[in-house]
Structure 1
Amino acid sequence: MAWQDVIEATALRAWESRVESERFGCSVERLTAGSESPFPAVREAVLRSDADVIVLRYPAEHVGWFAQLTALQRTAVFADSLVYWRLRAGQGRAPEGAPDLLAVEPAAASVGELVSEIFTAYENHYLANPLFDPADAVAGYQEWALSSAAEGSCLALWDRSTEALVALATLEEGEARTEILLAGVVPGRQGRGLYAHLLKAVEDRTLTRGAADVVISTQGHNTRVQRAWARYGFEPTQTVLTVHLIRSALLPGPGH
């Protein structure tokens, strides 16, 4: 979820997610609580929603909210935690140069293939919802990445020694910052330091644009990549919880 929608937002925001509704075959609404959103406002938004699924995100410091969410006439499913990190552009601890690696803007067809290869086994909040097909979740990643490619906001690492793309980062590039949406290394090349070179390519591009920050987020369970961010110089900024509020009648089980 975009940095400005989570870290900088103060008010409660609700909107229909048409893309997700079409993808999963049920109505999906997004609800995001900002830093100043009180729980009564969240409660009212949930109660008046007609959506089959509400994807709610709220700051993790509200540790008592989940218990209250279970009493709002829906099935509350804890889906994930998102941890947001930030790097001041120009302060990264870049790796030594690698002559065989070249940062390139990949073709759209290559972006789709790389996303499928890198992220098929990655677990995100969609997989917590029994109404959602995991295959559709992967398709969502591909659509997300292709939208970045259409805007010219993708970077890949080309390995000249093997003549292959080995890593991908999809971006959202604003005036103030670059947000890394998806980033990863192909399975056969992981654990060899390529990820740091991918981060350097993004940081270099951010500096060229004159933006101040590089920001990124991931699920809390993904500690391996967070260690890589810490080594590079990123710092943790905020944790956000995701809860799916599902119309109980849609779920299989006794009485449904």
Structure 2
Amino acid sequence: MPSHPHPLAHPHPLAQPRPQPGATAAGAAAAPLRCVPSPLESARFGRAVERLTVTRESAATLAEVQGAIFASAAEVVVLRYPAEHVAWFAGLTALGRTAIFADALVYWRLRAGRGRAPEPPPGLRTGPVTDPSQVEGLIGDIFSAYGNHYMANPLFDAAEALAGYQEWASRSARDGRCLALRDERGGAVLGLATLEEDGPVTEILLAGMVPSAQGRGLYAHLLKAVEHRALARAATGVVISTQGHNVRVQRAWARYGFEPARTVLTVHLLR
């Protein structure tokens, strides 16, 4: 039952760009949109990759987005924008690039302290996991068959995409931002969540149960551990996201108390 995000507010597993700036302080001019180099993705896939992330708050127009993409020399531009701009895709096909619709990313949010946390069953415990190699192995098990936006692009290799997830998670482990759900009897890790904790909201970046632990009602205990950690640092909420096709995990979020917040579309534009 894996979930993962995109760089709406925090880094992506294979890239570091922040959202494009839009309107600044009241009355100030908006910074121009531009595609941002993604060195980790470029190195991993052996192709020049840039990213352009358009937020709802930026009030960017299609013409501005088209201009930024037209100015890019990258082989691949990964564009993300609010799903309410349903007319944009048609305009993206007229830029001299091949436009590939890659995914719809759904964000859910929970007000910290409002989760419907289950009673802990005997034999389970949660806590940090800091061994990068262990985390890489767990992510490989959890996300091996996950349908992410890279799968839509014939220029990207699925194994390299998974390796990017593993690399990203291992950095989270080294930074102390990984939580594990364990079986106390043998110490085996049943589930894993990596976190972003920079601001007042905790974001769950990668999360899921190992295949042998799926379908046993244990995922909610992992969410509970994240919520308790968020409360311990006085965070106001928890956010998480996944591809729209991942209905099973969204049902689990709804049962726990998360509510849908927004949807973002991903388009790959190939030169």
Q: What's the TM-score bracket when you normalise by the shorter of the two chains?
A: over 0.9
Secondary structure at 1:94 match in 2: coil
Contact 2:7/2:53 (<8 A) preserved: no
Measured in 1, the distance between the counterparts of 2:203 and 2:237 equals: 8
Contact 1:13/1:32 (<8 A) preserved: no
Give the TM-score, by structure 2 length: 0.88
Contact 1:21/1:28 (<8 A) preserved: yes
Cross-structure match for 1:100 = 123
Cross-structure match for 2:110 = 87
Map 1:144-183 to 2 at 5 A. 144-183=168-207
Cα deviation code 1:48-104 (max 9, x no counterpart)? 100000000000011111111111100000000100111001000001112311112
Cross-structure match for 2:136 = 112
Measured in 2, the distance between the counterparts of 1:171 and 1:96 equals: 23
Q: How many residues align?
A: 247
Give the superposition deviation at 1:13: 5.4
Shift in alpha-carbon separation, 1:194–1:9, aligned structure 2, 3 A: farther
Map 1:97-246 to 2 at 5 A. 97-106=120-129, 107-246=131-270
Cross-structure match for 1:22 = 43
Give the superposition deviation at 1:5: 5.9
Q: Which runs of 4+ in 1 moved over 3 A?
A: none
Cα RMSD for the two superposed structures: 1.6
Secondary structure at 1:4 match in 2: coil
Measured in 2, the distance between the counterparts of 1:26 and 1:45 equals: 19
Cα deviation code 1:123-147 (max 9, x no counterpart)? 1000111011110010011011111
- Long gaps (5+) in structure 2: 1-5, 12-18, 23-32
Give the superposition deviation at 1:196: 0.2
Does residue 4 (structure 1) correspond to residue 28 (structure 2)? The answer is: no
Please identify which structure carries the higher helix content. Answer: 1
Give the TM-score, by structure 1 length: 0.93
Contact 2:35/2:72 (<8 A) preserved: no
User: Percentage identity across aligned positions?
Assistant: 62
Q: Which amino acid aligns with 2:50?
A: E
Q: 1:33 aligns with which of 20, 43, 54?
A: 54
